Amino acid sequence: MARKKVLAVIGFCVLGAMRVEAASPACTGDARQDTALSRTGHIPGLGDVHASVGWDNRIQLTLTARDFEVKRVILPNREIEITISGRGELIPLTIRIGGREGLRVARGAHVVWGPEALSAFRAMTDGRSVSAFREHIGEYERRLLAGPATRPDDPHAYGFLLIGAFVSSLSGDPTAVGRARDLIVARTSGGIRRARADFKDCVSAYEQSLLQNDTRRTSCLQSAEQQESWYQRSAQRLLCEAEFIAGALSAEGQFISCSALLPLVSGL
């Protein structure tokens, strides 16, 4: 079978000269100029996930289910864009974290930004596809609480778990990200029992990045508590959670650069 080399620079690391089966169903060196590598896998309890890495360092992961599709993109400038869509809904929800605005939420031409727009965020995160996604992530969170063994593809699952929690925060649940954070920390402290030997260093580096990001979150939340009014505190806490999500997904980007998306392939 014909093979070809794929070289992709992502974030801070280089994947290097990596051989990829051109016809493999789980791993594809895309012939399009904008895609260097793509893989598709199934994460138990979460669903089918497709991931791709662009030559411009853009990383995209898409979770597809019956009632929704969630796409998250780590842009070359390290901003995060999240899109939630579904059948029967013509206008998707788009969330952008980072950049000059810090936090931006849009449905079509309706755009709001900044942590002060709390009531507008709640109104815009309504809808069937968002509700279906939140319900699905809630079920997955309960599955993880039941204590299944950790897996080498957990960093990708955690990314969607945190996005679901952040959407819940936008909808008015201020403790959602904290609960997801506590669950992830509890699981990572137990070690990756099923990780292949060649992935352990990638997982360890990912966990270290998460812990550093969590320290920054704690400091940010402490500063938010110094605000005088409840509304100001809530707005600043939401911005802290947005920065935490962006940092966690950036850590996943480094994990992808290290592991070349191999843990996503079914059966590992």
What is d(CA 10, CA 123) in angstroms, rounded to the nearest whole number?
Answer: 36
- Residue 191 has a pLDDT of 52
- Residue 17 has a pLDDT of 27
The domain in which residue 31 lies consists of 3-264
- Residue 60 has a pLDDT of 95
- Residue 169 has a pLDDT of 94
- Residue 99 has a pLDDT of 82
- Residue 12 has a pLDDT of 28
- Residue 141 has a pLDDT of 94
- Residue 115 has a pLDDT of 65
3-state secondary structure at position 39:
strand
**Do 35 and 50 touch, CB atoms closer than 8 A?**
no
Extract the tokens encoding 255: 């994990």
Prediction pTM value = 0.82
- Residue 204 has a pLDDT of 82
**Do 173 and 134 touch, CB atoms closer than 8 A?**
no
Average pLDDT per consecutive 10 residues, the chain (268 residues; last block may be shorter) = 33 29 36 76 92 92 94 91 89 91 89 81 90 95 85 88 95 93 83 50 83 91 91 90 92 87 68
Total domains, the chain: 1
- Residue 170 has a pLDDT of 93
DSSP string, 197-238: GGGHHHHHHHHHHHHHHHHHHHHHHHHHTTSSSHHHHHHHHH
